[in-house]
Chain A
Amino acid sequence: MAARPATILADGLWKQNPIFRQVLGICSTLAVTNLVANTLFMCFGVIFTTALSNLTVSLLRNLIPVRVRMMAQVLIIASYVMMVDILIKAVAPDIHRFIGPYVGLIITNCIIMGRAEAFASQNKPLASALDGLACGAGYALVLIAIALVREPLGFGTVLGYPLPARGLWWHQWTIMVMPPGAFFMLAVATWIARARFSAQEKTEGTEKKT
C-alpha cells in the first residue's frame, strides 16, 4: 500500500472518516461535545495521541512480536495519553476537572487502536504519522461541528460567550447538553454524512455496513 500523502489526508478527513465511516471513537464524541472549549482540548489530545502513537508503532513494527502486539500498542498509546493528561491538567485545570476521566479514556478510543493496528503496523513511519494526523483531524472536525450545534442550542453560548439572541427570544434547549441530545445530534450527523456517501458512490453494495 503505497498511498500518496494527499490520499491519506483525504481518506482520514472524509472518505474513511473514523466516526462516520468506521463508527469508531463514539464514546468521547458524545461525552465532551456539550461545550466547545472541552471539545477543543479533547481534539488536541486525540490528534496528538493518534499521530505520535502511529509514528511509534510504525517505527517499532518490525521489533514487536506479533503475539504481544496489542499489549505493546496499548502501552505506547497509554504513555502518550499520560503526557496529554498531565499537560491539560497544567494548562487548564478547570477543564481538566470535567473532561479528566475522558482524557484517560483516549487510551481505549478505538480510533487510535484501530489506526495503529490497521495502518501503522504495516506502513512506513512518516506515512503512519500523517495517517494518524488525518484521522485525528477527521475526528476533530466532527466533534467541533457537533459541539458548535450543541452548545449554542443548549446554553445559548459559544465558547462561553453568550449569543445575542440568548435571553431575548431564544429559549435554551437543556436537552441538547444532556446525554440524549448528544445521541440525537450524532445520529443526525451520521445520517447526513452517510446520505452524502451513498450519493457519492454510484456503485451500490460497496457500502460498508456495521
Chain B
Amino acid sequence: MASSDMGLFSSFVLIFVSAAFTDNILLARFLGMCSCLGVSKKVDTSLGLGVAVVFVTASTAVLNYLVYNYLLVPLGIEYLKLIIFIVVIAAFVQIVEMIIERVSEKLYNALGIFLPLITVNCAILGASLFMLNKPYTLLQAFGFGLGCGFGWFLAITLIGGIRERINEAAVPKGLEGPGITLIIIGIMALAFVGFSGMIKI
C-alpha cells in the first residue's frame, strides 16, 4: 500500500514501475495475450499497437476511475461495472480509431483488424478491473494505467524483436507460430519474475 506520507509524485512513480515491471500485465497477469500473439510478428506493428494500448489503457483507467467513484458508487450500482467499463472502453477505442485513420493511413492499414480488437484486449479492461483492488487516488490510478500499458508495450515490442529473428531459425513443425512464441514469452516471464519482490505495494 502506498503510504500517505510519501510524496504524490514518488507514489505515482512507484505505482507506475510496479505495474510495468513487477506485475507486468502481459507476463505476470497474462492479459492481452490474444492480440499479442497475433500482432507480435514484426517490431513495427508491435510498436504501433503498443503505443495505442499505452494510450488507451492510461486514458480508460482514468475515465473508468472517475465513472466508478463518482457515478457507480454514489448510485450503489457497482455490480454494473463490467458493462459500464466495456462501454467506456469501446467508445474510447472508436474515437482513437477514427483519429489514427486520419493521422496515419500506413499505421491504420498495418494494424487493420487489430484496432477493433483493442476493445476486446483484456489488458485494457483488466487494468481497469485490477485498479479497483487498491484504494488509489486519481493520480495513482493514472500511474497504474500508464504502467500497465507501458509494461504491455515493452513486452510486445521485445517479443516482436525476438520473433523477427526466430523466423529464420528451423523450428519443429508443431511448435511453429503460437507454440514457440509461448516459449519465448515464458522465458521472458522468468526474467520478469526477477523483478518481483523489488517493490511491495
Are B174 and A109 touching (Cβ within 8 A)? no
Label chain B's interface by main secondary structure: helix
Q: What's the Cα separation between A86 and B80 when bound, in Å?
A: 11
Contacts of A180 on B, CB cut-off 8 Å? 186-187, 189-190, 193
Distance of A107 Cα from B129 Cα, bound (Å) = 12
Q: Residue A78 contacts which of B29, B30, B82, B178 (CB distance < 8 angstroms)?
A: B82
**Does A24 touch B at the CB level, under 8 Å?**
yes
A-contacting 9-mer, from B10-18, B44-52, B104-112, B116-124: B116-124
Say yes or no: is B139 at the interface (Cβ < 8 Å to chain A).
no
Cβ–Cβ contact B193 & A179, under 8 A: yes
A165 on the interface (CB 8 Å rule)? no
Q: Determine how close the nearest CB of chain A comes to the CB of B48; give it in whole angstroms.
A: 19
How many residues of chain B get a CB closer than 8 Å to chain A's CBs?
Answer: 47
The answer to whether A187 and B180 touch (CB under 8 A), given A82-B80, A113-B120, is yes
Q: B34 contacts A23, CB within 8 Å?
A: yes
Closest to B126 in A: A105
Q: B125 interface residue, CB < 8 Å from A?
A: yes
Binary contact readout A168-210 vs B (1 if CB under 8 angstroms, 0 otherwise):
0000000100111111101100111111011000000000011
A191–B186 Cα distance when bound, in Å, is: 14
Report whether B187 and A210 are in contact in the complex, using a CB–CB cutoff of 8 Å. no
Residues of B within 8 Å of A195, CB to CB, are: 173-174
Whole-angstrom CA separation of A23 from B34 in the bound complex:
7
Quick check: which of A4-12, A56-64, A67-75, A128-136 contacts chain B, the rest being far away? A67-75
How far is the CB of A196 from the nearest CB of chain B, in Å? Answer: 8
**A101 near B37: Cβ-Cβ < 8 Å:** no
A79 touches B83 (CB 8 A): yes
Check B199 for interface membership: any CB of A closer than 8 A: no
Decide if A110 is an interface residue (CB 8 Å cutoff). Answer: yes
CB distance from A188 to the nearest CB of B (A): 8
Bound together, the chains give a CA A123 to CA B126 distance in angstroms of 31
CA gap between A180 and B79 in the complex, in Å: 33
Interface residues of A in 69-107 (CB under 8 A from B): 70-71, 74-75, 78-79, 81-82, 85-86, 101, 104-105, 107
Distance between A83 CB and nearest chain B CB, rounded to angstroms: 10
What are 13 sample pairs from A and B whose C-beta atoms fall under 8 A apart?
Answer: A26-B37, A27-B34, A28-B122, A31-B29, A74-B90, A75-B83, A108-B86, A113-B120, A179-B30, A181-B186, A187-B180, A190-B179, A192-B174
Q: Could you tell me which A residues sit within 8 Å of B by CB distance?
A: 23-31, 70-71, 74-75, 78-79, 81-82, 85-86, 101, 104-105, 107-110, 113, 175, 178-184, 186-187, 190-195, 197-198, 209-210
Which residues from chain B sit less than 8 Å from chain A, CB to CB?
A: 27-34, 37-38, 79-83, 86-87, 90, 116-117, 119-122, 125-126, 129-130, 133, 172-180, 182-183, 185-187, 189-190, 192-193
